[in-house]
Structure 1
């Protein structure tokens, strides 16, 4: 619930949000304007909220500046009706401007009902989106590291990637594990290669592909890359678990309904909800 003025006076506020500070303009129903600058530390934003409450502000508009608006929104959302505005939607005409003038302009647009707020999802959906974006980033980083591992093998003239097309294949991963542990003998490495691959290309060809020029530094770098990849995989599992917990707590029925669509599993349904 946002704060309601018992006298039904419509006092509004415009916030011009920056990385290090916030410019504030309170536009009161009686024509009075209160303008000031405040910091962005939590205690300063708490003080801003108290000041807005003390001045009977009911509605606040702010521009969607990078991620800087998010902590301000979290602190103010329970006490006021908030509007998040695309800066291009309320762009001023060219001329002499200042940050405090920008805050005043935002307040003026809000009072004249020229502002249409952007959609801001509730807390649960925001958390789901955070996990979803983190999973996207992890997938991207994982592909990058897998390519680095393949490049490291090519540098050592280990050419098994020419015969195992998928770098996520079990055989490929087990060979990387052995190399990271310093086991470089082709006779040891070929044990990890699937028989189907050996039958297709021939044992001699696979042995030749596994015979490289590997030194201790190569093994150590492979071990580091492998540990990075393992860490990312653990983080992805953790994100998926948290994603599922939030969905099951708040959107269980919707998750089950979405999965009735052919081709959509649990993870896909969670991403759709997010």
Structure 2
């Protein structure tokens, strides 16, 4: 096989140490020369590792993406001008029963030397920082939802069925009633009715019926107050994260506005998408490669002439959910029915779940094209891409043939 990197290094990364193997292949020989060394993951030792690489004129390094442990190593090498390739563990996994740290680093280096390792997508530093913030916001939002569920369950176990009457347990009227029930005061139906606002006043009898016969112990009241305080605290944290994110994305306002022209995408969704894929599409060779990286492409799994499961991969843990959410909003957009029509056609043949994944992939393909060309979202252009001229002619001929056959069955002659 052709040697792509005559001088390279394979690194096996762990939490407290790394094992590196420099592989040098002389020009007049195919027999490589190996040099192994072990370093700790403290910054001083990682800088010594970079000095060792530069001393041997090794500017290409490959390591597997082991949790978060590869990031400190990558940061040091990137600052020192050394090209670091982060490989998916499934592409560099060694055979079980004949592996250790030194052998793993040698195996990674051998594969990389022959060009058999695919590089993972690593965005620039500011996008990586933005990604950390948006992912943290996602976690905080999940925690907020969990606290809402705990708050509602706390009243359910106390025989308060208020959630069956009101649409939102955190609305103005519902909040006033729950705060009143969780207080130490005695219950007064008249006071409870006075807390209702607007349309909920019409349901006063139903609200009292859902509360009647409740029993909340002092300890349960204290737990409800703690849950409420924690929920409010998480909301304040989300507000702080949003302020930090908005400061960071000021330089991406033009790209955000560009994404917001796509049906279903609003500002928060656009920021999340940019934090995951960046704005430079040159790092992806094509839209198909981007969709595969995002986990929106079917797999290829065939052996002995038999096709096995080709379901989408588990990639895109944060990107795929937001694209599916955008797809659901896009197919409900009445002002731009392009994706709604596509969804209906695919859902009839393949089902709703596959159809929504297909719409998410179409949206990601459109994002790739828009970031590459700078053009606004235009359904007319998408129709041209989806239906080339020769396919339009075939579809028209087929439609005419079917119409002619139908008229002849009705006893009419077609000239």
On whether the aligned pair clears a TM of 0.5, the verdict is yes
Show structure 1 runs of 5+ residues with no match. 1-8
Shift of 1:44: 2.6
Shift of 1:158: 2.1
Shift of 1:131: 1.7
Shift of 1:25: 0.8
2:196 paired residue number: 193
2:207 paired residue number: 206
- SS for the counterpart of 1:61 is strand
Shift of 1:239: 1.8
2:46 paired residue number: 45
Match of 1:18 among 14, 20, 39: 14
In 2: Cα distance, 1:239 partner to 1:182 partner: 35
In 2: Cα distance, 1:237 partner to 1:174 partner: 23
Q: TM-score, normalised by structure 1?
A: 0.86
In 1: Cα distance, 2:178 partner to 2:206 partner: 19
What do residues 232-256 of structure 1 show as CA deviations (whole Å, max 9, x unaligned)? Answer: 111112222222221113x121112
Are the counterparts in 1 of residues 165 and 206 from structure 2 also a CA contact under 8 Å? no
In 1: Cα distance, 2:232 partner to 2:169 partner: 14
Distance of aligned partners of 1:107 and 1:176 in 2 relative to their CA distance in 1, 3 Å threshold? same
1:27 paired residue number: 23
- SS for the counterpart of 2:231 is helix
Q: TM-score, normalised by structure 2?
A: 0.59
In 1: Cα distance, 2:131 partner to 2:181 partner: 38
In 2: Cα distance, 1:225 partner to 1:42 partner: 41
In 1: Cα distance, 2:185 partner to 2:86 partner: 58
Pairing 1:90–2:86 present: no
Distance of aligned partners of 1:227 and 1:33 in 2 relative to their CA distance in 1, 3 Å threshold? same
Are the counterparts in 2 of residues 61 and 110 from structure 1 also a CA contact under 8 Å? yes
1:271 paired residue number: 272
- SS for the counterpart of 2:228 is helix
Shift of 1:162: 1.6
Pairing 1:122–2:118 present: no
In 1: Cα distance, 2:216 partner to 2:128 partner: 47
Shift of 1:146: 0.9
Instruction: Trace 1:139-218 onto structure 2 (pairs within 5 A).
Output: 139-183=141-185, 185-187=187-189, 188-199=191-202, 201=203, 203-211=204-212, 212-218=214-220
- SS for the counterpart of 2:136 is helix
Shift of 1:178: 3.4
Are the counterparts in 2 of residues 85 and 115 from structure 1 also a CA contact under 8 Å? yes
Are the counterparts in 2 of residues 189 and 210 from structure 1 also a CA contact under 8 Å? no
1:221 paired residue number: 223
2:380 paired residue number: none
Shift of 1:185: 2.2
1:66 paired residue number: 67
Are the counterparts in 2 of residues 179 and 222 from structure 1 also a CA contact under 8 Å? no
Instruction: Trace 1:217-256 onto structure 2 (pairs within 5 A).
Output: 217-249=219-251, 251-256=252-257
Are the counterparts in 1 of residues 62 and 108 from structure 2 also a CA contact under 8 Å? yes
In 1: Cα distance, 2:54 partner to 2:180 partner: 64
- SS for the counterpart of 2:36 is strand
- SS for the counterpart of 1:77 is helix
